[in-house]
Structure 1
Amino acid sequence: MSVFERIQKAAKKRGYNLTQVAEKAGFKSRNAIYRYNQGVTPRDSSLRSIAEVLDVSFEYLKGITDDDTPKSITKEPDIEKAIDSSRMYQGRPIDESQKEVMKKLLKAYLDSQEK
């Protein structure tokens, strides 16, 4: 099943048409999703937005799994929790300003991997 077909199936299951999904996902074009049926490959960030709207997993939309159960869509809370709970790195204490820098670096890295 293609990405387009998976989106279409999940939208139908939730009572949405593809135009509504595009609007709810914040796309500029109401017909953006229809382009996925014409050979346009969606960005991961777009699929994550669609997955959130349709309450399905990103992995399902990508075709990695047939399980449409939503997974953790954002990584930020996990990053923040991990960094906030850290008190030391390589035997040295970590202050709050260093934690903020670490969060920004990790978020920037993860965002770059989605493109």
Structure 2
Amino acid sequence: MTVLDRIKKVSKKRGFSLTQVNDKANLGKNTIYSWKTKEPSINNLKAVADVLNVSVDYLLGKTDDNSTSMKPKQVDITDDDYIMTYQGKPIPPEDMEYIKRILNGGKD
């Protein structure tokens, strides 16, 4: 399995398109798609691994363990630069607004 195949597999499992992963990793336009024919830089690969919450070793095929990293990612719920997920699936925007209202004590 290639690096691109592994990225596709994990992206699909997490409910992301490759374009979303590419954008969240702050890569140039269609960078991930270019990995079909060329090797990714380690910095770009690390950025994608962080977005998908897997190790670079998994993406490189050095391990088959694609479990999330031991270090949990912490972001603010109001940060729109991240796609919040529950059980690996993105939380719809309308549900995120509901969650925010609950966390604010019903005030909004």
Partner of 2:60: 62
RCO comparison, higher one (Cα < 8 Å, 6+): 2
1:1-80 to 2 correspondences below 5 Å: 1-29=1-29, 31-37=30-36, 39-71=37-69
Relative to its length, the structure with more helix (as a share) is 1
TM-score when scaled to structure 1? 0.58
In structure 1, list runs of 5 or more residues that go unmatched: 74-115
State how many pairs are aligned: 71
Superposition RMSD in Å: 1.5
In structure 1, what is the Cα distance between the partners aligned to 2:48 and 2:54? 8
CA contact (8 A) 2:53 2:68 kept: yes
TM-score when scaled to structure 2? 0.61
User: Which structure has the larger Rg over C-alpha atoms?
Assistant: 1
Stretches of 4+ aligned residues off by more than 2 angstroms: 69-73
% same residue: 44
SS in 2 for 1:45: helix
In structure 2, list runs of 5 or more residues that go unmatched: 72-108
